[in-house]
Structure 1
Amino acid sequence: MSGYTDHGSFRPDGSPEGEIRLQEIGNWLSIVVVFRWDGTTMDQTTDRLSGDPYSGVVRYDWIGPKASAPKEVSTADELDAWAGVSLKYARENTDVGIWGVHSGSWIEDFKEDGTVTIRDVKGSYQDEDPQSLGETRTMKL
């Protein structure tokens, strides 16, 4: 998934942590993959010699028919080809506290009848929960 983890430049403290969640809902399979990084960043606004704290999240959501779900995949492109819904969300906290930028979409709710609620976000945030921002839309698979 190296081509899928394009995130801003920073100094990571180590390898990213990853999490995979699978959920069967009726005839559908939902797959969520989340990568998290921690580290430091330096730019013209940095006022610390050691750099500003940094954390990043990249999340991928896929929903597709359970009956045709691939048994194994070697690239995210294979999941994109299978899924009826394929989304990406990236968030960078670039200072102490809740301060950063984010863009993309994720699945907020999914029902057995194929109704999907998606949250779309883009822009900066400061001292507010970034996952409460943006707009929601509903679609039917």
Structure 2
Amino acid sequence: MTRVLSLLLPLRHFREPANMQELLEQLLRNVGASPSPALLVYFDNCSSNPSQNIFQGLDERQELIRQGFQHKGNPDLNLLQKLFQSAHSLYFHKMESILRLEQERIFVQDFSKLLHLHVFHSSLHACALEVVFYVQKKSI
């Protein structure tokens, strides 16, 4: 888990979940739960725009998780929705960072192959969810 946190959060030393929660809130303060205009440009530059598949995948994974929580008991749906929004914000923020770094590294504009890979989105979303749920574990 520490490895995932170190990849998704800025490099800082932290010991308490409260500090991690504060770091996560700082990171996501100006990030929405939807793609930024810059990320939408990456989507538009693809030979086949992946937006619909991305949102459909997010909805499907969110519903599976919601069903899992409901199966275990009566979850606080408002809290769960808040956690999903934070995870989506982190997911889109990190996706944009990955694409920006890859664009600088390999000078590519069309990320169709990567952005249409189910495993890329599932993995990135799972990491974002894991970080958010770990940081908020006392609330769940």
TM-score w.r.t. length of structure 1: 0.27
The structure whose Rg is larger is 1
More helix by share: 2
Structure 2-normalised TM-score? 0.27
Return the structure number with greater strand share.
1
Higher relative CO (CA 8 A, sep ≥ 6), structure 1 or 2?
A: 2
